[in-house]
């Protein structure tokens, strides 16, 4: 099927799961708006992603999905049908989102041709997921739908009050020309050990005299505190922040050093240069997206990229990261971004 762009007045994008996955799907927004400049763009996701989506001007309306039971799905289907969408991009493509898309009444329905879900769509992305970075996978669906990849990307714009709050915090913490460390991560095995983070922070301080701000989210505070205690260079432990304030701080930093996590993708989304630390997951599939960003991992291990939630060994993927190799990667990363 070929999309007649004149038919498309209202578009729905569906992407559930974590805020990092949603941030990666949002890179399609610029291209979608360029190809359908008069169309309204709605985005359906789950509540944790709302702070990101509400601050993206390309999105006209955010739909928060409650996915607790079959009744909630029926309510979503009813709400979607009421909106009378012309085109739906189901970037999630699980059984529930496929059903919502199929019963939407939309003329054009795009999804991935996964087993048991192809019935829902008349336009398809590539079948093989593991060939592409997560952001590129979404672009491939657009290309398959005949959409030109022009002006890809999106901008996150914060209210004046958010910017003022982040600037006030920076002033109160007496930070200038600082970078940010983010110790969080959805799986325990994805989290770089505090002792290694402390080593990296001390190295950056010794070589570049650049102050460090440690940002933390729910569940990350014990590790953030431990990093602060183990470091000799006195990094600054941030007070509690919310997602929007965290993104604003990312935007004002020199760069971000982060585990593979939602905040890593949020930092890249707001334009902060990101150096991602990787162990059990694939940086080629899930690394920080964008030409300014880099990733670093211990390439010497046979067990690297194991995808295990818990390490059955001694977390060598992080604990045995060589400082000399980290220095080489950091130097090239900082030079590329004009930071040194």
| Domain presence at residue 152 | no
Are the CB atoms for 317 and 280 separated by under 8 Å?
Answer: yes
Q: Does residue 94 share a domain with residue 223?
A: no
Residue ending a domain, among 144, 169, 189, is: 144
Residue ending a domain, among 111, 144, 177, is: 144
pLDDT band at 226 (very low <50, low <70, confident <90, very high): very high
Please tell me the distance from the alpha carbon of residue 194 to that of residue 198, in angstroms, as a whole number. Answer: 6
The more confident residue out of 1 and 54 is: 54
Residue 227 belongs to domain with CATH number: 3.40.50.2000
> How far is residue 69 CA from its own chain's centroid?
27
**Residue 317: domain span:** 160-336
Q: Does residue 271 share a domain with residue 139?
A: no
| Domain presence at residue 151 | no
pLDDT band at 234 (very low <50, low <70, confident <90, very high): very high
For the residues of 144-191, what is the DSSP string, one character each?
HTT----S--------HHHHHHHHHHHHHTT-SS-EEEE---SSGGGS
Q: Does residue 165 share a domain with residue 131?
A: no
Nearest Cα to Cα of residue 322 among 304, 297, 290: 297
| Domain presence at residue 313 | yes
Q: How crowded is the C-beta side of 279, counted as CA atoms within 13 Å? A: 26
Residue length of the chain: 340
Nearest Cα to Cα of residue 327 among 200, 215, 221: 200
| Domain presence at residue 150 | no
Q: What is the pTM of this model?
A: 0.96
Whether 70 has a pLDDT exceeding 90, the answer reads no
Q: Does residue 332 share a domain with residue 225?
A: yes
Q: Does residue 134 share a domain with residue 30?
A: yes
| Domain presence at residue 155 | no
Mean pLDDT, the chain, rounded, equals 96
Q: Does residue 224 share a domain with residue 80?
A: no
pLDDT digits (tens, 9 = 90+) for 126-178: 998 889 999 999 999 999 999 999 888 999 999 999 999 999 999 999 999 99
Whether 67 has a pLDDT exceeding 90, the answer reads no
The proportion of the chain whose per-residue pLDDT surpasses 90, expressed as a percent, equals 93
Are the CB atoms for 264 and 182 separated by under 8 Å?
Answer: yes
pLDDT digits (tens, 9 = 90+) for 265-312: 999 999 999 999 999 999 999 999 999 999 999 999 999 999 999 999
- State residue 98's pLDDT score: 97
For the residues of 110-141, what is the DSSP string, one character each?
EE---TTTGGG-SEE--S-STTS-HHHHHHHH
DSSP 255: -
**Span of 64-78, 254-268, 303-317 with lowest mean pLDDT:** 64-78
Q: Does residue 169 share a domain with residue 301?
A: yes
pLDDT digits (tens, 9 = 90+) for 26-49: 999 999 999 999 999 999 999 999
Q: Does residue 212 share a domain with residue 328?
A: yes
The domain total for the chain is 2
């Amino acid at each position: 099927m070929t999309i007649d762009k004149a038919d498309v007045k209202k578009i729905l994008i569906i992407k559930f799961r974590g805020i990092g996955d949603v941030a990666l799907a949002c890179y399609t927004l610029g291209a979608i708006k360029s190809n359908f400049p008069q169309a309204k763009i709605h985005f359906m996701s789950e509540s944790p992603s709302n702070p990101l989506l509400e601050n993206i001007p390309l999105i006209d309306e955010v739909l928060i999905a409650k996915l607790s039971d079959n009744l909630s799905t029926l309510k979503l289907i009813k709400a979607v049908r009421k909106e009378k969408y012309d085109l739906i991009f189901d970037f999630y493509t699980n059984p529930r989102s496929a059903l919502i898309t199929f019963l939407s009444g939309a003329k054009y329905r795009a999804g991935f041709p996964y087993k048991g879900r192809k019935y829902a769509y008349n336009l398809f992305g590539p079948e093989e997921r593991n060939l592409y970075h997560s952001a590129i996978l979404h672009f491939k669906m657009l290309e398959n739908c005949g959409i030109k990849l022009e002006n890809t990307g999106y901008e996150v714009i914060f209210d004046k009050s958010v910017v003022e709050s982040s600037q006030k915090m920076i002033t109160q913490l007496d930070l200038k020309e600082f970078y940010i460390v983010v110790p969080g991560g959805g799986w325990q095995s994805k989290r770089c050990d505090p002792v290694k983070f402390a080593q990296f922070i001390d190295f950056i301080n010794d070589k570049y005299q650049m102050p460090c701000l440690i940002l933390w989210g729910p569940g990350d505070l014990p590790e953030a505190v431990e990093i602060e205690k183990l470091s000799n260079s006195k990094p600054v432990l941030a007070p509690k922040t919310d997602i929007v304030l965290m993104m604003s701080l990312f935007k004002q930093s020199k760069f971000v050093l982060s585990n593979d996590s939602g905040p890593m993708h949020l930092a890249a989304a707001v334009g902060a240069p990101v150096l991602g630390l990787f162990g059990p997951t694939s940086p080629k599939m899930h690394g920080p997206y964008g030409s300014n960003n880099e990733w670093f991992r211990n390439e010497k291990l046979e067990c690297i990229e194991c995808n295990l939630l818990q390490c059955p060994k001694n977390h060598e993927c992080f604990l045995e990261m060589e400082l000399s190799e980290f220095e080489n990667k950091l130097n090239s990363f900082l030079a590329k971004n004009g930071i040194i």
